[in-house]
């Protein structure tokens, strides 16, 4: 079995932590020698995923708990984001039509759209322990 | 880079210069600055992104909302962008915004375009 490196970050659902999350992603990328492009794509997908949790699971509350776990192998990067907020299913959020003119563009759904474009797999599940957002990126 | 905003008003257009990341924690400040211009009657707006290297969906929501409002106010109303880096342009392309907004290499050209 390929060796893997694991990284963990625990934060509260305060929006001001988003910058810390970005720094964490770039630090993981540095330590595992991911390319700049993969690092930037991952940072954006994680930013959108954590924002979803802050806005939808915790409804803007700043004291919710969020755990980020990264596992990096030679083949892939797996990210798990756990929260204990209200159940939400981003899979049901309608994707925006990116070909419609600006004046007709819907305001919502763009964050999940970006996550799906930037990562190879995005899953949302919910169990007794809370919500789990899982994203996978294949590594070249 | 700490987040910051600078608003200047020219004859042809109002300019919002953004410094730092626009994510969900900073987008409300960006939105407030743009909304104030719209509420004050400005329909020609330039957003200068020279000092910005990251925009999340929250930033695009502000731009879409602003564009809808100024375009509704007058058909010639528009939100135009200056100094978008190649890296940031990738995000515009990802969301399909590269063909919807007008981009200029510098602020003077963007203001002059109105």
Mean pLDDT of chain A: 92
The shortest C-alpha distance from A16 to chain B (Å) reads: 6
Which chain B positions have a beta carbon within 8 Å of A54's beta carbon? 24
Q: What is the pLDDT of residues B1-16, one digit of tens each?
A: 799 999 999 999 999 9
Size of interface A-B (CB pairs under 8 A): 68
Tell me which residue of B102, B58, B96 sits closest to B79, measured CA to CA. B102
pLDDT score of A91 more than 70: no
Q: What is the mean pLDDT of residues B91-103?
A: 93
Dihedral, CA atoms, A20, A23, A29, A32, nearest 10 degrees? Answer: -80
Residues with Cβ within 8 Å of A2's Cβ and at least 6 positions away in sequence, in order, are A73, A74, A75
CA angle B7, B9, B10 (to 5 degrees): 140
Q: Where are the domains of chain A?
A: 5-138
Nearest CA in chain A to B71: A103
Q: How far apart are CA A140 and CA B9, in angstroms?
A: 48
CATH of A5-138 among 3.30.565.10, 3.40.190.10, 1.10.760.10, 3.40.50.1370: 3.30.565.10
Nearest CA in chain B to A54: B24
pLDDT score of A33 more than 70: yes
Interface predicted TM-score (ipTM): 0.93
The shortest C-alpha distance from A138 to chain B (Å) reads: 19
Which chain B positions have a beta carbon within 8 Å of A16's beta carbon? 25
Q: How many residues does chain B have?
A: 114
Q: What is the pLDDT of residues B38-83, one digit of tens each?
A: 999 999 999 999 999 999 999 999 999 999 999 988 889 999 999 9
Contact (CB, 8 A) for B59 and B30 = yes
Beta bridge partner(s), residue A132: A82, A125
DSSP-derived secondary structure for B67-85: HHHHHHH-TT-EEEEE---
Q: What is the mean pLDDT of residues A3-18?
A: 96
Which chain A positions have a beta carbon within 8 Å of B58's beta carbon? 51, 111
Residue A116: how many CB atoms within 10 A of its CB? Answer: 17
Terminal Cα distance for chain A, rounded: 18
Q: How far apart are CA A13 and CA A84, in angstroms?
A: 11
pLDDT score of A1 more than 60: no
What pLDDT is recorded for position B38? 97
CA distances in angstroms from A85 to A82, A131, B74, B106, listed in the order given: 9, 7, 43, 44
Residue ranges of domains in chain B, CATH in brackets: 4-112 (3.30.750.24)
Q: What is the pLDDT of residues A60-81, one digit of tens each?
A: 999 999 999 999 999 999 999 9
pTM score: 0.94
Contact criterion met (CB < 8 Å) for A18 and B58: no
What pLDDT is recorded for position A92? 66
CB nearest to B56's CB, from A47, A98, A105: A47
Q: How far apart are CA B50 and CA B53, in angstroms?
A: 8
The shortest C-alpha distance from B106 to chain A (Å) reads: 23
CB nearest to A110's CB, from B21, B25, B57: B57
């Amino acid at each position: 079995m390929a060796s893997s490196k694991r990284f963990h970050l625990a934060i509260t659902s305060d929006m001001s932590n988003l910058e810390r999350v970005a720094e964490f992603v770039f630090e993981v990328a540095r330590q595992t020698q991911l390319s700049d492009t993969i690092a930037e794509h991952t940072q954006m997908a994680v930013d959108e995923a954590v924002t979803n949790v802050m806005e939808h699971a915790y409804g803007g509350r700043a004291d919710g708990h969020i755990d980020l776990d990264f596992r990096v192998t030679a083949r892939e990067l797996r990210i798990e984001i756990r929260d204990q907020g209200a159940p939400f299913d981003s899979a049901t959020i309608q994707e925006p039509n990116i070909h419609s003119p600006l004046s007709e563009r819907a305001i919502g759904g763009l964050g999940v759209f970006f996550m799906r474009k930037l990562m190879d797999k995005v899953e949302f599940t919910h169990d007794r322990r809370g919500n789990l957002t899982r994203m996978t990126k294949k590594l070249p | 880079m700490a987040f910051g905003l600078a608003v200047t008003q020219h004859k042809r257009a109002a300019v919002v210069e953004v410094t730092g990341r626009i994510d969900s924690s900073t987008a409300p400040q960006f939105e407030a600055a743009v909304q104030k211009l719209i509420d004050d009657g400005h329909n020609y707006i330039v957003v200068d992104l020279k000092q910005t290297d990251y925009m999340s969906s929250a930033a695009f929501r502000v731009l879409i909302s602003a564009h809808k409002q100024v375009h509704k106010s007058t058909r010639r109303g528009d939100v135009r962008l200056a100094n978008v880096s190649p890296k940031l342009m990738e995000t515009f392309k990802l969301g399909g915004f590269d063909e919807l907004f007008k981009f200029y290499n510098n602020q003077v050209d963007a203001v002059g375009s109105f």
